Structure 1
Amino acid sequence: MVKGDCKLSGDIVIYAVSDSIGETAEEVAKAAAVQFNSHVKEIKRIPNLTDINMVDELIDRIKSSNALIVYTVIIPEIKERLIKRTMEYNIPAVDILGPVIENMERLTGLKSKHEAGLLRKMNLEYFKRVDAIEFAVKNDDGKDPRGILKADAVLIGVSRTSKTPLSMYLAHKNIYVANLPIVPEVEPPKELYMIPREKIYGLVIQPEKLNEIRRERLRFLGLSDNASYASIDRIKEELKFSRKIMKALNCMVIDVTNKAVEETASIILEDINNRKIEGVSGENTRNY
């Protein structure tokens, strides 16, 4: 709907106004402007219009000019003020989102959140999630020790302690995760000792359960389940070595024996959130 009855003539300036970044309003204005060759002098984006005084300043500045306002304003009081002031000076103003939202409210029986910038927030969340997933893949199984220095969380543990699925699950929660296998014959990379211990999560498991998991894995691969990889003695040796490393790092240790990936992830997420809220302090010797 266009507010105001005046007819514009000659070259005009279009103001793409929004209480968010104004990208949608600007793109609509551009799409319309190309239909009028060079008669649109300029398209000016006015973002973050979140204060009534800002509305008044804008209208007072353009009230005598050959202007058209194209707007995507969600905040009710800002929208009402904009409509009132444009009608006061007969400034044409086109509400891009309003009719769509009104019809969606009518069809769904629900009320709009009236929160500015939601689409941008959703897009930012999406791209961060994709980036976190790519990070987890790149830094899976100790592929690049340098990733340890950039990670929000570093998972360490012997083979088959759910490091990879846990990394991917956390990545979908926008956490940047690197994971590293602990093997007695290989010393952990120096980067592991260069990060705060609070970022490190040691994963352990009961030997018998790990024996069962590894034997099943070997059978799945068509190999003999009597290999050293699934030997209970070898498993105990690996777990003993991994606990030694975890003790030296003084990191949180989580027993994943009877835990689903989601359960282990919730422990880590809670710890990360607590650190964000409270800050890092005190000893981190809890076992789960």
Structure 2
Amino acid sequence: MTQLLNLHLISDSTGETLDMLAKAAVAQFEGADIKRHFWPLVRSKQGLERIIADVAKHPGIVLFTMASGEIRSALEDRCRSLDIPAVSPLDPVLTALEEALGRQARARPGRQHTMDEAYFDRVDAIHYTIAHDDGLLSEEWEEADIVLAGVSRSSKTPTSIYLANRGYKTANIPLVLESPPPDILFRLKSPMVVGLTTAPKRLIEIRRNRLLTVGERDETSYTDEDHVSEELKFARRIFADNDWPVIDVTRRSIEETAAAVIRLLQQRREKREQGDMNAPLSS
């Protein structure tokens, strides 16, 4: 029987960064029985003591991000007295940055969540992306940072939303065999157009699961192997004819696909900044 490990995440901010770090680390231990206890917005010793009481009842490992030196010291002292490991995963990163920059980090909780210009840009990107999902408002695609194109169920929408949360205005359009995309897609100059593709068998599986969720059990061209193959060939021809970069999402998570798109966009922008006028407009 696998032993249960309690993982306590304690933060003086929203805990979003800590939660992401914990998820990434836990994902490396497939099958492990890990129970996460999430404690955000811990900004007083009184609040900390209530949490420590639960930590004592469910001992394990404490991961924390704490800007206040006083509360951090209290947390470390209490964990030490309970013989419970307490780890601050951002410490090595901050130390390296302090040494490289020759200055100390500001101890302000939730500084990355300050409502600055970047915050409002991200909100604007989310609004734009939701409004331009599934081929909508094509006349406004020129305002996008990224346009994703691909057949139905090639993860365009979830990838678009993830990119929007990273601050990128993202439109997406389904490529339908029986209906060519609007001509404006091929005339875009500012956005980077990226093609998403996947393996036929994987796509059929996803589509069948989608139909089951809406109570549809009859086989249609939507899940027919020959038709799906033709759809993917149609999309790949469009990608190749327009020299768009292509990402195969078959074995990628949404996060991995988005990271690949962002990398392509950064490379494109670097070429533009270096004055490479021959850099493709859409790749």
Specify the TM-score bucket, using the shorter chain as the normaliser: 0.5 to 0.7
CA RMSD of aligned residues (A): 2.8
- Counterpart among 206, 209, 215 of residue 216 in structure 1: 209
Q: What amino acid maps onto 1:272 in structure 2?
A: L
TM-score (normalised: structure 2): 0.58
Q: Distance in 2 between matches of 1:197 and 1:244?
A: 22
Name whichever of 195-204 and 169-178 sits farther off: 195-204
Match of residue 220 from structure 2? 227
SS of alignment partner, residue 203 of structure 1: strand
Alignment counterpart, residue 152 of structure 1, candidates 145, 151, 176? 145
**How many correspondences in the alignment?**
181
For residues 143-182 of structure 1, what are the structure 2 equivalents within 5 Å?
143-182=136-175
CA displacement at 1:240 relative to structure 2: 1.2
Question: Pairwise mapping of residues 1-40 of structure 1 onto structure 2 (< 5 A)?
Answer: none
2:236 is matched with 243
The verdict on how the C-alpha distance between 1:217 and 1:248 changes in structure 2, with shifts beyond 3 A counting, is same
1:164 partner letter: T
Alpha-carbon shift at residue 272 of structure 1 (Å): 1.3
Displacement after TM superposition at 1:122 (Å): 3.9
Q: Is the 8 A contact 2:204 2:225 kept in 1?
A: yes
> Of the two, which has the highest radius of gyration?
1
The answer as to whether partners of 1:197 and 1:251 remain within 8 angstroms in 2 is no
- Whether the aligned pair in 2 keeps the contact of 1:197 and 1:249 (CA below 8 Å) is no
Q: Pick closer, same or farther for the CA change 1:198–1:119 going to 2, 3 Å.
A: closer
Structure 2: gaps of 5 or more residues:
1-66, 74-90, 92-103
- 1:123: Cα distance to partner? 2.5
User: Post-superposition, which runs of at least 4 consecutive aligned residues in structure 1 deviate over 3 A?
Assistant: 103-112, 118-122, 280-284
After superposition, the Cα gap between the structure-2 partners of 1:225 and 1:215, relative to the gap in structure 1 and judged at 3 Å, is: farther
Distance 1:114 1:188, change over 3 A: same
Counterpart secondary structure, 2:159: helix
Q: What amino acid sits opposite 1:162 in the alignment? A: S
What secondary structure, in the 3-state scheme, does the structure 2 residue paired with 1:258 have? coil
Corresponding residue of 1:135: 128
Deviations 1:167-222 (A, max 9, x none): 00000000010000000121211211111497010011111111111111111110
Q: How high is the TM-score relative to the length of structure 1? A: 0.57
Shift of 1:274: 2.1
Residue 238 (structure 1) shift: 0.8
Determine the structure 2 residue equivalent to 1:191. 184
Residues in 2 aligned to 1:268 and 1:119: alpha-carbon distance in whole angstroms: 23
What are the ranges of 5 or more consecutive residues in structure 1 without an aligned counterpart?
Answer: 1-102
Determine helix, strand or coil for the equivalent of 1:254: strand
Q: C-alpha distance in 1, partners of 2:134/2:182?
A: 12
- CA distance 1:283–1:131, shift in 2 (3 Å): closer
Contact map agreement 2:129 2:169 (CA 8 A) in 1:
yes
CA contact (8 A) 1:163 1:179 kept: yes
- 2:264 equivalent to 1:274: no
Aligned identity (percent) is 37
Can you list the C-alpha shifts for 1:122-150, whole angstroms capped at 9, x where unaligned?
A: 43222111110111110000011123211
**In 2, distance between residues paired with 1:105 and 1:162?**
44
Q: Work out whether residues 197 and 247 of structure 2, in 8 Å CA contact, stay in contact via their aligned partners in 1.
A: yes
